Amino acid sequence: MEPIPLAVQILTIAILTAVAGGMLFWRDSNGLQASRISQPQGLGFTVGAVAGLGGLLLFAFVGFPAGRRLVTIGSLVESGRRPPNEDEQRVLRRSQAVLKRIGIVVLVLLAVAAGAMSTARYWSLAP
């Protein structure tokens, strides 16, 4: 039995985290009641949830496939004990560029999510 690739494990953990976060958001907002979400604390959790979900979606639909292309080409090159051909080099360069950009964006989104959600309980209207 082959081990599960790290990228698949990370994606699975990210999805499970998003599901758990959605359940907590549902509970904290009393079933997504606008009166709870529109309060400062609710806005903090909403900003965090949107940022976290955005990061997950970018990773799942852009970063993960780009990473899989890198791994696939790397495996082909390694098994053939040859350098990558021109088409493979082009795909590798494009995938690396995508992963670099996506990595930065996802990192910023996760920082916003963590910051907003960890401080939302302390948000209040100015006196």
Question: In this predicted structure, what is the pLDDT of residue 36?
Answer: 86
Reduced to 3 states, what is the DSSP secondary structure of residue 33? coil
Show pLDDT as tens, one digit a residue, over the chain (127 residues).
888 888 899 999 999 999 999 999 999 888 889 888 888 888 999 999 999 999 999 999 999 999 999 999 999 999 989 999 999 999 999 999 999 999 999 999 999 999 999 998 898 865 5
Q: How far apart are CA 108 and CA 97, in angstroms?
A: 17
Measured CA to CA, the distance from residue 2 to residue 8 in angstroms comes to 13
Structure tokens at 20: 């758990």
Q: Where are the domains of the chain?
A: 6-120
* Measured distance CA(127)–CA(125) in Å, rounded: 6
Residue 125 has a pLDDT of 65
